[in-house]
Structure 1
């Protein structure tokens, strides 16, 4: 039987360390060393991990020479060199990392998989060297890097030189960022100390197995140092996800498929879409004269209808292969913002949007579509990743505004919005925004600094809600209809002013009446716009985007409106 902390081998019977159930060995092997009774993910060796993840026949082990390293001539109850020799005899490994090249569903990847059996996967000089070599191989070949982590922390027998490996590995990941090479980490149980505080958490996407633990200080150190009682589930993957510190939790049986989708983003493998004429109409109305006059207040009510498709609805109908990513990596994950990589007609893109919901429970969970600072910071993180990987950014705007609360102000709501606006203005990739419902104030603008801003026909976009404007300027909330008309929040007026570039028609009864038709029209509009914008390089996109927003409110020497807006 295997005890807790040991690695499962295919014995006739094995006892699960979590639920204590006896499991037939072959059954445990078939379930990828996941207990079929309780779902506990047993630890597995590095070679077994590589075999599970990479395609059969594609695995090429990379075995650089790693020298023995005992800089301190260290000895506790036995000399460090003896501990190394014992670990090698026990595991058959030279060190706590195994390197390989191969493919996952045909997508090339360099893998560095840690093995906890070897001195607890501790981060020593050899481990730092192997992780760095893996990063350098990925850099040389422009191949995505996958890190599978398992570590108890720094290798104390190497003293401060172990600490220096955190810098060595972190700067190796930084070079991959500079080169636009995709990086992914898979957190397995446990991942602590110097590994967690360096390469494990510096990747573009951080996945974790269920209940995998990760942190800087382990629970025992925390309890002994500050005498604090730790909450249930502390530092588990579920805790980390709730606090915005990882992107997603994936059971072992789903991990390979998820990795294949993510790796395809960085391998230059756009999926061929059905051939469409490049000049095909996108269905977008760009002439305000083609739009009927609308009652602005009625338009606001239609934009707010809870039956309208949400961002997640569009993601399921307009895009393929969406992988939702969570968290701002700073301690929060706002449900009012959703996002992650997806495909539009086979083209890899990054999609980010406000999410309201329909039921009272979902609306409350999503904060009625009003993001907090961690929501905007999550969006910013995904946009930076898109810029690094060269992915176009598509945003969906549907919010009454940013969350107006004490905690939001304490956490820097204004700063988060300002940072997003500045970031979007400089993204060197195509950026498209669709105002799918309500576009409220700076909370909407933080996702709407785009090359082209489209709006659904019954959408609205305003500096403030009509009710807020009426309360402030008329001192009478009942004047909201008059305020809506005065603010010119409807699609026709927004198009006339040049605030939006085009209007996506809605079916009879509005998008809420027919989600399928709504999705088809949005798909056509986004795909056509993306085709056009993709013909421009990054520098041209940024220059034109800045010119676009520079023109708002500008006047020429005669004092008339800017030429751009007069032409509209």
Structure 2
């Protein structure tokens, strides 16, 4: 059955709960129920939400006949069974969630949309069953799942049976993970308790409306239980974005566009076509002229060199930045997200510096904290799940050496990335676009193919650090640079990098478009070549690439062994 939205409430004027200004009802409806004065996002019914998000406002309800009952014969001031009947009469719904098939941005999706009007959107046995069946439908049809949350938490009137729905729905999302099916949560205000601690925060991508609240225990519970004074913005989407728990905040009028861009990636990937331009990468060090390594250090650190985000804007299409590590924070020194390179989706991740002091300070001079590496790991796991290639752009003096980074597990975060990247079964291409400093760079550079711009550098330590340790004299940094073999020509000769991308005259900062064209061509050729390998072969290829340093073991020998074992 196809449904469309009922008309907005017949009320001529609506008092905004945010700014307390009367808003003309029809104007509010035209504005997607967002106050035009203060931008507060007013609640939507499940039907209104489905119509706003679905292409042309059309959706097909899933034929599910599930309704809550009264397993405990619970009674407070009135029996629970009476409350259920009242909720059904008031809302016209059988339960606090509607499940439907629809298209968003031309991509198919299964949607489960909660309605706060029905007993506060609480998670009871029927809601848990409907969410689970929606996930199972998405699994059977191999279609992305979108869950729109609005809930006060688990339904007390159903006791421990309500609690069990947290585990049940979480297991259903786990099945979608194993099947490689994209899941998205849209957090609306409010989302608390058992819903927040299960399916709302287990999806691949978490999108939130502005000022939407998300948390396990609500403000009132916290303040009354432990008497702790909380900041006004506590548990809002903005508060959570800064702390790495959600991917993005999207205002209501742009939700369909943002969700459509995500779903386009989840709809499936295509093999890349052969690049139409020549491969610009130099593969032999003998084709490169010698350059003073200390000069390369200066050029690699040039503030005018394009940054990761500069290259993303010039090479890729439809980049959608994802934020947060879902554990401890959001590190602005690492940026990443889904994008398209021609007809193929990719996960782009890179260290981000800046072109002025303000940006450099905000980005911590491109020095990631543990949250940055954990964010990168989360995005790489998502790429692995969706079968999407990973492109990393390296540009960092090194991982942030502060005390707080050590307290948060800097070494562990980098080590985890090295192990994760070695095991990925999707193509991985890394490019040193400027400065590759120590393990902080390697944490994003365990790749099938590692490239470097001609004036880039890649080293175990900075020349200044080496000079201070070895000669006790930082002034001997130029000498250290020559001794470290950190320049592109030496790195290519040693096999540390697989190729060198020539730079425009005057460096990448002198002609950004030409530099981007060459980088884009290099990425296309590398990904096209790797597309010929199976997922198993990609992992072997990458491990063997690093296995050979200091060893006689070669990539060819590893692949040959794998082929013999397969037969």
SS of residue in 2 equivalent to 1:159: helix
1:524-539 aligned within 5 A: 524-539=521-536
1:34-433 aligned within 5 A: 34-56=34-56, 58-268=58-268, 277-278=274-275, 280-433=277-430
Q: For 1:492 and 1:68, locate their aligned partners in 2 and report how far apart those are by CA, in whole Å.
A: 69
Structure 1 segments, 4+ long, off by >6 Å, are 561-564
List per-residue Cα deviations over 1:400-429 (Å, max 9, x = no partner). Answer: 000001110000000000000000001110
Structure 2-normalised TM-score? 0.95
Pick from 429, 448, 473: which aligns with 1:476? 473
Q: For 1:462 and 1:490, locate their aligned partners in 2 and report how far apart those are by CA, in whole Å.
A: 9
Instruction: Return closer, same or farther for 1:109/1:474 CA change in 2, 3 Å cut-off.
Output: same
Q: For 1:532 and 1:312, locate their aligned partners in 2 and report how far apart those are by CA, in whole Å.
A: 25
Structure 1-normalised TM-score? 0.95
Q: For 1:562 and 1:117, locate their aligned partners in 2 and report how far apart those are by CA, in whole Å.
A: 61
- Aligned residue pairs total 551
Q: For 1:516 and 1:109, locate their aligned partners in 2 and report how far apart those are by CA, in whole Å.
A: 37
Q: For 1:235 and 1:46, locate their aligned partners in 2 and report how far apart those are by CA, in whole Å.
A: 23
- In structure 1, the partner of 2:496 is 499
Query: Does 1:488 pair with 2:485?
Result: yes
List per-residue Cα deviations over 1:77-135 (Å, max 9, x = no partner). Answer: 11000000000000000000000001012100000000000000001000100000000
Shift of 1:70: 1.4
Tell whether the 8 Å contact from 2:367 to 2:399 is kept in structure 1 after alignment.
Answer: yes
Q: For 2:438 and 2:329, locate their aligned partners in 1 and report how far apart those are by CA, in whole Å.
A: 23
Shift of 1:532: 1.1
Shift of 1:282: 1.6
Q: Which runs of 5+ in 2 are unaligned?
A: 1-6, 558-567
Shift of 1:554: 1.2
List per-residue Cα deviations over 1:21-71 (Å, max 9, x = no partner). Answer: 111111111110001111000000001100010112741111311144211
Tell whether the 8 Å contact from 1:114 to 1:151 is kept in structure 2 after alignment.
Answer: yes
Shift of 1:454: 0.5
SS of residue in 1 equivalent to 2:509: helix
1:506-545 aligned within 5 A: 506-545=503-542
- In structure 2, the partner of 1:3 is none
Shift of 1:11: 2.2
Tell whether the 8 Å contact from 1:311 to 1:355 is kept in structure 2 after alignment.
Answer: yes
Tell whether the 8 Å contact from 1:437 to 1:459 is kept in structure 2 after alignment.
Answer: yes
Shift of 1:336: 0.3
